Structure 1
Amino acid sequence: MIRWLVALGLTLAALPGAAQVYTYIDAQGNRVFTDQPRPGNATKVEVPPGNRMATPPSATTSTATSEKPPAEPLFRYEMLRLLIPEPDATIRSTAGEMIVTATSEPGLQKGHRYRLLLDGKSTGEPRPSPVFALENIDRGTHHLAVEILDEQDRIVERTANQPFHMQRVSLAQKRRVKPCAKADYGQRPECPLSDKPKEEESSILPFF
């Protein structure tokens, strides 16, 4: 009985879904299954309808279809550049401070903002103002770039990296360049009152 069922299953698997199945006993006493009708002792086998299900779409396909690349910004600027500092400028500041300004043509559009990059890193939140105040910049050579972002934080325009050189002058260096005079003590940071030389005492005795 088990061999009969196995043979039936293999035969059904090999036959097309719409074909008819017949069975008969051959001369050797073996049960045979075929899709061809045989006159005589062949009996038609009733085949139940198949239960195959449609293959669901793969996760990769659905994900690739649903995820669309972000749209490109529609507006373009004719020009965007840094005004201050000039390319390859040398900035001298004791505290490493400087002002950076940018300009664009046409002017900044509604909803757009400027973002300043120092050595490839943002210096703060994007803003509508093209003026940036930087402080505590290390001495040495650095690079500035400015971007314009739209309402969706997409980069509309970006300048090339522009180098500048920061020289942080110490108070001692300032004093060597311009020595402290008596009137400078308490007025110039490098000339504190504590370093002001004492007044020379007069050697002439007061007249009584």
Structure 2
Amino acid sequence: MGRTFSYILLVIALPVAAQIYKYTDANGNTVYSDHSPDGVKAQPVELPPLNRVEPQAPSTLPASDADKRQPAQSAYEVLELAGLPTEEALRANNGTFTVNVLIKPRLQSPHQLRLVLDDEPYGQPSNVPILQLVNVDRGEHRLAVQVIDGQTIVQQSPPVAFTVQRVHKP
């Protein structure tokens, strides 16, 4: 471990070192150093040149080309929730129910679906268009579905307002 750490530190410092030497110490350990110790046969280490990439200025489109660009298109023609009653309360005594996602074309890889309950992400993302909500409090809520790619939101459905009715049993 110590030898590896020393080697890593040495590699980090290579750009400022003029020459690197390799030798074996009295305990039989291989040692790298920036100087040749007295009385020890040290071999100079030849290092390959470092790769270097020069930064490039960002390219910009001429104004005429920028005017020709098409506005961003939605990835999905249809993205909406189904299976939620809007005219009456949803009866779910334990607050657990499922919703269906209508999506056209089919969900593309690596996109996933994620619910948004009351403007907050809800549950784990999934690639299945049937999503479950668990133990939702009674009362009014807003629900939408997002298509995500990692942490990036690709598209979001319009929110649907609904009411959960839960019967309280003493």
The residue that corresponds to 2:166 in the other structure is 168
* Runs of 5+ unmatched residues, structure 1: 1-64, 67-72, 173-208
SS at match of 1:147: strand
Residue type matched to 1:90 in 2?
A
Q: Which amino acid aligns with 1:133?
A: Q
**1:127 maps onto 2:126 in alignment:** yes
Q: Tell me the amino acid that sits aligned with residue 127 of structure 1.
A: S
Q: Normalization by structure 1: what TM-score?
A: 0.44
Q: TM-score of the superposition, structure 2-length normalised?
A: 0.53
1:82 and 1:103 in contact (8 A); partners too: yes
Alignment of 1:78-97 (within 5 A): 78-97=77-96
**C-alpha deviations, 1:140-169, integer Å up to 9, x for none?**
10000001012x432221111111101101
Are the counterparts in 1 of residues 74 and 155 from structure 2 also a CA contact under 8 Å? no
Two-structure CA RMSD over aligned residues (Å): 2.4
* TM-superposition CA deviations, 1:4-38 (whole Å, max 9, x none): xxxxxxxxxxxxxxxxxxxxxxxxxxxxxxxxxxx
* Residues paired across the two proteins, number: 102
Q: Which has the larger radius of gyration?
A: 1
Cα distance in 1 for partners of 2:156, 2:134 equals: 23
Which residue in the other structure is 2:113 paired with? 114
Partner SS, residue 125 of structure 2? coil
Structure 2 alignment gaps of length 5 or more = 1-56, 59-71
Q: 1:112 to 1:89 in 2, by over 3 A?
A: farther
Task: Report which of the two has the higher share of strand.
Answer: 2
Q: Note the C-alpha offset of 1:133.
A: 1.4
SS of the residue corresponding to residue 126 of structure 1 reads strand
User: Quick one: higher RCO (CA 8 Å, sep 6+), 1 or 2?
Assistant: 2
What's the counterpart of residue 98 of structure 1?
A: 97
Instruction: Please give the alpha-carbon distance, in whole angstroms, between the structure 1 residues aligned to 2:74 and 2:168.
Output: 47
Look up the match of 1:206: none
Aligned to 2:135: 136
Counterpart mapping for 1:57-76 below 5 A:
76=75
Q: Quote the residue 2:145 is aligned against.
A: 146
Residue 157 of structure 1 corresponds to 155
Deviation at 1:95, TM superposition (A): 1.1
Which has more helix, going by share of residues? 1
Letter in 2 for 1:161: P
